[in-house]
Structure 1
Amino acid sequence: MAQEPLLAKDIDRLINQPPRVQRLRRAIFAAADGLRPVVDLSRVYVDGLDNLPSDGRFVLVGNHTSAGWPEIVMSPYFVHRHLGVRVRGLAVNKVKELTGFRRDLAEALGAVPGQPDVGAELMERGETLLVFPGGGRDMLKFKGEEYRLMWQGRSGFARLAIAHEYPIVPVGLVGGDDVFRGLVERNGTWERLTRPLGERLHGLAGVGVPLMRGMGPTLLPRPQRMYLRFGQPISTTRPARARADKWEISVKQRTQTELEAILDDLQGLRTDDPFRNLNPLAWGAALQPS
């Protein structure tokens, strides 16, 4: 089903945020800056910041994890910390249904409805964007699907970037799929039986309810160090002789391939890192970017 374009007044609100949203945004950024020493204590492994175009005119394309929050929080945080720019995340369309403080908070954090007209308007204004092509499916991981991209052939992000000649920066995060462990496999008995319930809970047709565990048999999150890498920018400028449809597929595939390579490499680094489980005794021996 085609998405209904946002009304002009809704797009204007995203660009020219109400004063209360602006105040909330300033408070959030001030709090983030104040928490810098705390963030540094967790020794997030982050590299590739020098790959970010200094003008802030690029779109980050990342992987969702079953933990959900690390990639959503850390990618914008470190971009802002390095470049001083705000990252606008193309989120689920339910964002536009929020009201009151929840809507103000989402907008202050940079979340906007993941629609082409919204992305196009932000790109016209040179803003930094963040996209997770897998959407909710990338979060709903089953046993053995850790760090697997589930983009289901989606290439809308590539089409949008090409239309505005926006470079794509793949950004991979490892650690978020280790906070919880999947207990059941996709297409197994449990997953198939829970598909009707899953559709009501998370809104995705044909996807059941994952069973997860954290520390021991509980749902308490397992302490995990996070590993974040920003890859080399991918040019989206279409060659003169390239067909538009084939170029879109090419850009999408290159982005996916490079992001998968980042995830594979970070998983390898994590394996040999004594601080990967945030053991305080290994803090001084934590693996550092070269």
Structure 2
Amino acid sequence: MGLILHHKALGKVFKVQCLHIPVQDRTPFEGLVKLVEETIRHEHASRPNSPIYLVGDSFGGCLALVVAARNPTIDLVVILANPATSFGRSQLQPLFPILESVPDELHVTIPYLLSLVMGDPVKMASVGIESRLSPMQKMKQLSNNLTAMLPLLSGMANIMPKETLAWKLKLLKSASAYANSRLHAVKAEVLVLASDKDNMLPSQDEAQRLKSSLSNCIVRRFKDNGHTLLLEESLNLLTVIKGTCKYRHSRKHDFISDFLPPSMWEYRYGFDVVSGYLRFASGAAMFSTMEDGKIVQGLAGVPNEGPVLLVGYHMLMGLELSCLVDAFLREKKIMVRGIAHPELFWGKLQTSSDEFAFADWVKVMGALPVSANYLFKALSTKSHVLLYPGGAREALHYKGEQYKLFWPDQPEFVRMAARFGATIVPFGTVGEDDIAELVLDYNDWMKIPVINERIKESIRDGIRIRDETKGEVANQQLFIPGMLPKVPGRFYYLFGKPITLKGREDLLNNREEANKLYLQVKSGVEQCIDYLLKKREEDPYRSIIDRTIYGALYSSADQAPTFKP
């Protein structure tokens, strides 16, 4: 049942097989383990250098862990959805003896009641309802889905007769005990998916126990889901695999060769749900510069063919990112690969919360860890790469520093771009001062007892980059600035005139010329910012109020006109 919502997406990148245990089957747990082992070993023999994925849902989680423990030399990625390793601590443990001895005439209600305890019918019925629908349309579709689904739940007694239920409970007991006794032998990569509202098992606590017990385990929590996690709305298994960097072709995940472009569902969910409010509030207006220097609305001035290096200014908290990536996907069908801080991949920002959230979505949308190696690989594959030389120092700037560039002295990205004959496009963005007011910066936080010590500790334990860099750009303290929202204005983007480096191999060895070009790019970014700051004063729809009125009268608010370039 858990495969129903996911097999289509999984089938595009995996060879999918499913273990089915017939209702009348009475194969003991050890027999099921051997059955799965035979399949795993057969697959490994035919593809010895490729990982094999084991997805274990509830009881299947025990099965997957035991198979992994007994086959430590096979490269396995084990994904556990509310694993039944916690069966001995189940909230329903006192009821299980009663369930096994309930009279036949009452048994017809037991599977139905269990189905309601195991999952949230509303979450199940919400599957497939578009987020873009109006509240009234959503309620109507939800009502129709519930009406169609509830009779199916009442038929659970036919699927799960009394004898089968009794057998399943005994099987769960033995599976849980067997798996827990073998945890120390599991060497596989493990991802645990845990529901906070699991009324069947203490899955949230169990996830943390497994994380501390297994040698290579990470957890993702889903706070609004029940036990039947894979059957409920808001979870796409392939998306979770991608966002946690578990999808790989070889022993180690590679952000270039293992990248899977976002699906239409991921695109819609990422931009409509995860960052939907910011997109609506910012009303992004895009401009670009043609080869002849003419500024036009839209992205026509940005080359379609890569490699292209987009080099620009990082607004406060990187607020400009989602609208920029969205614009390239909408208008040019181009996936922009952003170079991001390693804290999003391996640091505390990645592990501070076990929820599948922003840091995971950044990876689904193609972010790359900042390093010369990944910039090299991205340009070599002719990608459109997004680079912020000012990094965290710009994105976490102090009061009064908006629209000020903090770039290092080394022109390394120029030489890298020249190596591949890439096109550099400088760009500027403005609008952070139209969205929020910075009220507490790093200096302010440092004046507050207790909080300042926590920030210092976080910085001390964090991943540092550019330790060799001097000046302000090396001062990249990671903190969350205090901001107050404003009545939203608008974001503006201007991509400057493209700088083609094809045939400029001389820049590889001529540092003086490379530095001149570096300063040209920096000046180009500053000119774009200055242009936008002046021209936005001419925009009749700069305020969200004006854009909303326009949207109500003519079309959607995010299509409101802007100033003429």
| Alignment TM-score, normalising by the size of structure 2 | 0.42
1:14 paired with 2:256, answer yes
Which amino acid is the alignment partner of residue 257 of structure 2? I
Residue range with higher mean Cα deviation, 235-244 or 43-52: 235-244
Counterpart-to-counterpart distance in 1, 2:335 and 2:529:
25
Q: How does 1:69-108 map to 2 (within 5 A)?
A: 69=319, 71-97=320-346, 98=350, 101=356, 105-108=361-364
How far apart are 1:167 and its partner, in Å?
Answer: 0.9
How far apart are 1:88 and its partner, in Å?
Answer: 0.7
Residue range with higher mean Cα deviation, 249-258 or 75-84: 75-84
Match of 1:44 in 2: 284
Match of 2:513 in 1: 247
Contact 1:229 1:262 in 2 (8 A): yes
How far apart are 1:31 and its partner, in Å?
Answer: 4.5
Contact 1:89 1:130 in 2 (8 A): yes
**In 2 relative to 1, CA 108–151 (structure 1 residues): closer, same or farther, beyond 3 Å?**
same
1:272 paired with 2:538, answer yes
Match of 1:54 in 2: 304
Residue range with higher mean Cα deviation, 45-54 or 252-261: 45-54
**In 2 relative to 1, CA 197–12 (structure 1 residues): closer, same or farther, beyond 3 Å?**
closer
How far apart are 1:145 and its partner, in Å?
Answer: 1.1
Contact 2:487 2:544 in 1 (8 A): no
Q: How does 1:21-170 map to 2 (within 5 A)?
A: 25-31=263-269, 43-48=283-288, 49-69=299-319, 71-97=320-346, 98=350, 101=356, 105-170=361-426
How far apart are 1:157 and its partner, in Å?
Answer: 2.2
Contact 1:67 1:179 in 2 (8 A): no
Counterpart-to-counterpart distance in 2, 1:105 and 1:32:
7
Counterpart-to-counterpart distance in 2, 1:156 and 1:245:
9
Counterpart-to-counterpart distance in 2, 1:74 and 1:111:
15
Contact 1:191 1:207 in 2 (8 A): no
Which amino acid is the alignment partner of residue 271 of structure 1? E
Which amino acid is the alignment partner of residue 416 of structure 2? L
Which amino acid is the alignment partner of residue 275 of structure 1? Y
Contact 2:422 2:501 in 1 (8 A): yes
Counterpart-to-counterpart distance in 2, 1:286 and 1:51:
19
**In 2 relative to 1, CA 50–182 (structure 1 residues): closer, same or farther, beyond 3 Å?**
same
**In 2 relative to 1, CA 149–241 (structure 1 residues): closer, same or farther, beyond 3 Å?**
closer
| Alignment TM-score, normalising by the size of structure 1 | 0.76
Length, aligned pairs only? 270
Q: Deviations over 1:146-193 (max 9, x none)?
A: 11111132533223212222111112111024423345789xx74775
Counterpart-to-counterpart distance in 1, 2:388 and 2:425:
12
How far apart are 1:119 and its partner, in Å?
Answer: 1.4
Match of 1:256 in 2: 522
**In 2 relative to 1, CA 201–223 (structure 1 residues): closer, same or farther, beyond 3 Å?**
farther
Counterpart-to-counterpart distance in 2, 1:158 and 1:68:
23
Q: Deviations over 1:113-167 (max 9, x none)?
A: 1111111112111111111111110012222211111113253322321222211
Q: Give the match's secondary structure for 2:345.
A: helix
The runs of 4+ residues in structure 1 deviating greater than 6 Å are 32-35, 208-211
Counterpart-to-counterpart distance in 1, 2:411 and 2:493:
23
Q: Percent identity?
A: 23
Contact 2:316 2:397 in 1 (8 A): yes
Q: Give the match's secondary structure for 1:89.
A: strand
Match of 1:288 in 2: 563
Counterpart-to-counterpart distance in 2, 1:283 and 1:47:
23
Counterpart-to-counterpart distance in 2, 1:263 and 1:241:
27
Structure 2 stretches of 5 or more lacking a match? 1-249, 289-298, 463-473, 551-559
Match of 2:220 in 1: none
Structure 1 stretches of 5 or more lacking a match? 1-7, 214-218
Residue range with higher mean Cα deviation, 39-48 or 197-206: 197-206
Q: CA RMSD in A?
A: 3.7
1:227 paired with 2:495, answer no
How far apart are 1:15 and its partner, in Å?
Answer: 1.7
Counterpart-to-counterpart distance in 1, 2:378 and 2:548:
43
Counterpart-to-counterpart distance in 2, 1:210 and 1:51:
35
Q: Deviations over 1:26-78 (max 9, x none)?
A: 4222447889x996896422111111112142011121111422x21122221
Counterpart-to-counterpart distance in 2, 1:107 and 1:241:
32
Counterpart-to-counterpart distance in 2, 1:241 and 1:120:
16
Q: Deviations over 1:233-267 (max 9, x none)?
A: 11234265995212321222111100100000100
Contact 1:170 1:232 in 2 (8 A): yes
How far apart are 1:82 and its partner, in Å?
Answer: 2.1
Contact 1:169 1:230 in 2 (8 A): yes
Match of 1:181 in 2: 437
Counterpart-to-counterpart distance in 2, 1:41 and 1:68:
15
Who wins on radius of gyration, i.e. which is larger? 2
How far apart are 1:232 and its partner, in Å?
Answer: 1.2
How far apart are 1:89 and its partner, in Å?
Answer: 0.7
**In 2 relative to 1, CA 177–168 (structure 1 residues): closer, same or farther, beyond 3 Å?**
farther
Counterpart-to-counterpart distance in 2, 1:240 and 1:159:
9
Contact 1:138 1:150 in 2 (8 A): yes
